[in-house]
Amino acid sequence: MSTSAEIAKLIDHTLLKPEATRADVEALIQEAAELGTYSVCVSPSMLPITVPEGLKVAVVCGFPSGKHISSVKAAEAAAAVESGADEIDMVIDVGAAKEKRFADVEADIAAVRAAAPAPTVLKVIIESAALEDDEIVGVCQASVSAGADFVKTSTGFHPAGGASVHAVELMRQTVGPDLGVKASGGVRTMEQAEQMVAAGATRLGVSGSRALLGGASGSTPGSGY
C-alpha cells in the first residue's frame, strides 16, 4: 500500500470549474502546498499565478471539448507557457479519434508540442471512456509519435465517464515505459488511486485531494475531476 505522502506527490490538484474565481485558485494553491501535491492544474485564464517553490503549474488547453483548431490550441499553449505554465494538458479532437483519423490527431498534438517545446511537459487528454480499445491504442501511438510526455485518460467533463483501470492498463501497454500515464476523472479514494497506480498511472488528476488523502473536505462539484 502507498502512503498518503507518496500518492500526494503524484497528484495534479485540480480546479477547472467554469465559475472558479481567483480566490478559489489561491485556496487551491494553499491546499496543494499543505498536502504536498505535485502541481496545481488550472484554466489558462487564471494565469499568471504565484506558487511556492517546488509546486508545478499545469494548465489545460483546448479544454474541455478538444474541438478547437490546432493553431488555436498552439497559441493557447504558448500563451500559457509565457505566463508561467510548467505543463500543458491538451484535449485531442475526440471525433477525429472516433473516425480513426490518427494522423490528424498526431498533427494536432504536434502543433501544440511545437508551440510548447521541452522542458514544458505535454500531456494529451484522450477521453478514453468515449473510445474503443483500438481507438485508445491509435491515439496513444499518435501521442508518442508527436512527442508528447504523457497520455491522460479524461477531462472529467465527458458524460461517458472518467478514468478506468482497463484504460490505464491499455494506455501503459501502448506507450511503454518512457511516457507518463495520467489517470483523471473520478479518482476520489485512496483505493482508486492505488488501483490506477498499479495499472500503470504515474500521475493522478484529482480535485478532492484532501478527501482522497484522508482529510475532511470533499471534491468541488463541477470541478471536472
Alpha helices in 36-164 (DSSP H): 70-82, 94-98, 102-115, 133-146
Identified catalytic residue from 73, 93, 149, 152? 152
152 is catalytic: yes
Q: Decide: 80 and 47 in contact? Cβ < 8 Å.
A: yes
Identified catalytic residue from 12, 73, 89, 108? 89
Q: Which residue in 29, 2, 34 sits closest to 14, CA to CA?
A: 29
56 is catalytic: no
In one letter, which amino acid is 40? V
**Dihedral Cα 104, 109, 110, 114, nearest 10 deg:** 150
The total number of residues shown for the chain amounts to 225
Q: How far apart are CA 11 and CA 27, in angstroms?
A: 16
- How far is CA 118 from each of CA 19, 47, 78, 148, 164, rounded to the nearest angstrom? 31, 20, 12, 10, 29
User: Which residues have CB under 8 Å from 204's CB, separation 6+?
Assistant: 7, 10, 11, 12, 182, 183, 184, 187, 193, 196, 197
123 is catalytic: no
Within the chain, strands assigned E span 11-14, 39-42, 56-61, 87-91, 121-125, 150-152, 180-184, 203-206
In one letter, which amino acid is 224? G
- Kindly list the catalytic residues: 89, 152, 182
